Structure 1
Amino acid sequence: MKLTFIRHGQTDLNKDNRIQGGGIDQPLNETGINQAEVAASHFDPQKYDLVFSSPLKRAKKTAEIFVKGQKQIYFDDRIKEMDFGEWDTLKVDELIKEYPKGFNEDGYVANGYLRYAPGGESFEEVASRGSEFIDELIHKYPDKNILVVCHGTLIKTLVAHYFSNGNLGVFEQVANCAISEFEMTENFSKVICYNQVLY
């Protein structure tokens, strides 16, 4: 199976450098729509057999822009963004000052954040639900070319799950509307490209 991930375009929460998890359903802003439209202009939806998206507005709209009305989009809750609990919508800079151990050296949420953010998901929980979705695709569609439009932390967590034994530090954070491509079977996985920006 060939698998392509696309992260959604920018939202106002992204622009303001605020936490935006699976419990927050923000639409794309004007910049995010433009990012998706420019990236999609380099993109041929006809080469994909199936298209899946997170049901959240920012991913759904990005998927619609990329497929240009040429493909049906299937939605799955398992590829929603990580839920950051009480941290959702809060400013990253302020959280880093108050809870430095909840972030890695690059300023992204780290494993220990749950000590300070009640109600959030762990990276292990995200990897579990996301990999259940991916494993199902590999089993059902071993020879298909599949597009998945979803979220940055989810993509990074899944790539770490499959390619670095869950070590999140190996892969950089995914940019808005960036494309990552993989070849995946039940016994073998290969990175074709990661975090490629087309706009």
Structure 2
Amino acid sequence: MDKKKNKKLYIIRHGETDFNKDGIVQGRGVNSDLNATGIAQGEAFYKKYKNIPFDKLYTSTLKRTHQTVKDFINDGLVWEQLAGLDELAWGVYEGQKSNAALREAFVNLIQAWAAGHYDVKPEGGESPNEVYVRQAAAMNHITKQDHENTVLICMHGRAIRLLMCLLMKKPLSEMDTYPHQNTSLYVLNYDGEQFEIEVFNSLAHLEEQGL
């Protein structure tokens, strides 16, 4: 990426859905709604961070991200959807509830990625390399907006793991060193060339609300 203006990025995962609660694979191809817990998580995040002077909101194209940050949208925060922020597509696994065969297949994928095989993907789904390409395009768009100094981004779990590797210039094999929970927060500072993590996977907004 070309050198660009300093920024602060607040990156959160979407709130809980029934698919999360019930252990069902979502991915890019499942456009699920938040459940009551997820709505409360989004509201808790808004309550804690509503006074941050965000210049722009970016989300994926999936409604669970839109619903998580709906209070910011309702406040009139300028909002843009980027397909590059969508979750990794899990292909044939999407919509399946956790079972022994699925868990084994998932472990095999994670092990392949950890071993550096970033083109491996589930049938009908996406590889880490494919997600990386669309994320790089999305981040190039975000970082080149000189008038957007403080940015809120709402996206997805596996996508966040991959994005953190991209931003921190780490190999994708390290994706699982970046944990996440529903509405967990990473804050990163960007000096025009490098990103630095200021806040790592915070759930302070949920803890303060007893969630």
**Aligning the two structures, in what range does the TM-score lie when normalised by the shorter sequence?**
0.7 to 0.9
Q: Which residue of 139, 151, 154 corresponds with 1:134?
A: 139
Question: SS of the residue aligned with 2:48?
Answer: coil
| Structure 1 residues 37-116: aligned runs within 5 Å | 37-44=43-50, 46-94=52-100, 95-97=102-104, 100-104=107-111, 114=121
* Alpha-carbon distance in structure 1 between the residues aligned to 2:133 and 2:173: 14
Q: Which residue of 31, 36, 40 corresponds with 1:30?
A: 36
What amino acid maps onto 2:25 in structure 1?
I
Q: Per-residue deviation at 1:8?
A: 0.6
2:196 corresponds in structure 1 to 190
Unaligned runs of 5+ in 2: 1-6, 112-116, 207-211
Deviates more, 1:137-146 or 1:31-40: 137-146
2:156 corresponds in structure 1 to 151
1:162 counterpart = 2:141: no
Which deviations, in whole Å up to 9, do the C-alpha atoms of 1:74-125 show, x marking residues without a partner? 1111111111111112123431145642245xxxxx95862xx211101111
Q: TM-score, normalised by structure 1?
A: 0.86
1:17 corresponds in structure 2 to 23
**Given that residues 161 and 167 in structure 1 are in contact (C-alpha distance below 8 angstroms), is that contact kept between their aligned partners in structure 2?**
no
1:180 corresponds in structure 2 to 186
* Alpha-carbon distance in structure 2 between the residues aligned to 1:40 and 1:121: 32
Q: Per-residue deviation at 1:31?
A: 0.9
What amino acid maps onto 1:76 in structure 2?
L
* Alpha-carbon distance in structure 1 between the residues aligned to 2:132 and 2:106: 24
Q: Per-residue deviation at 1:46?
A: 4.8
Q: TM-score, normalised by structure 2?
A: 0.82
When the two chains are superposed, the root-mean-square deviation of aligned CA atoms in Å is 2.2
**Given that residues 37 and 66 in structure 1 are in contact (C-alpha distance below 8 angstroms), is that contact kept between their aligned partners in structure 2?**
no
Question: SS of the residue aligned with 1:36?
Answer: helix
Q: Per-residue deviation at 1:34?
A: 1.0
What amino acid maps onto 1:150 in structure 2?
M
**Given that residues 84 and 120 in structure 1 are in contact (C-alpha distance below 8 angstroms), is that contact kept between their aligned partners in structure 2?**
yes
Q: Per-residue deviation at 1:161?
A: 1.9
Flag the 1:113–1:75 CA change in 2: closer, same or farther, 3 A. same
* Alpha-carbon distance in structure 2 between the residues aligned to 1:99 and 1:63: 30
**Given that residues 91 and 126 in structure 2 are in contact (C-alpha distance below 8 angstroms), is that contact kept between their aligned partners in structure 1?**
yes
Unaligned runs of 5+ in 1: 105-109
Runs of 4+ in structure 1 off by over 4 angstroms are 110-113
* Alpha-carbon distance in structure 2 between the residues aligned to 1:57 and 1:19: 16
Work out the number of aligned pairs and report it. Answer: 192
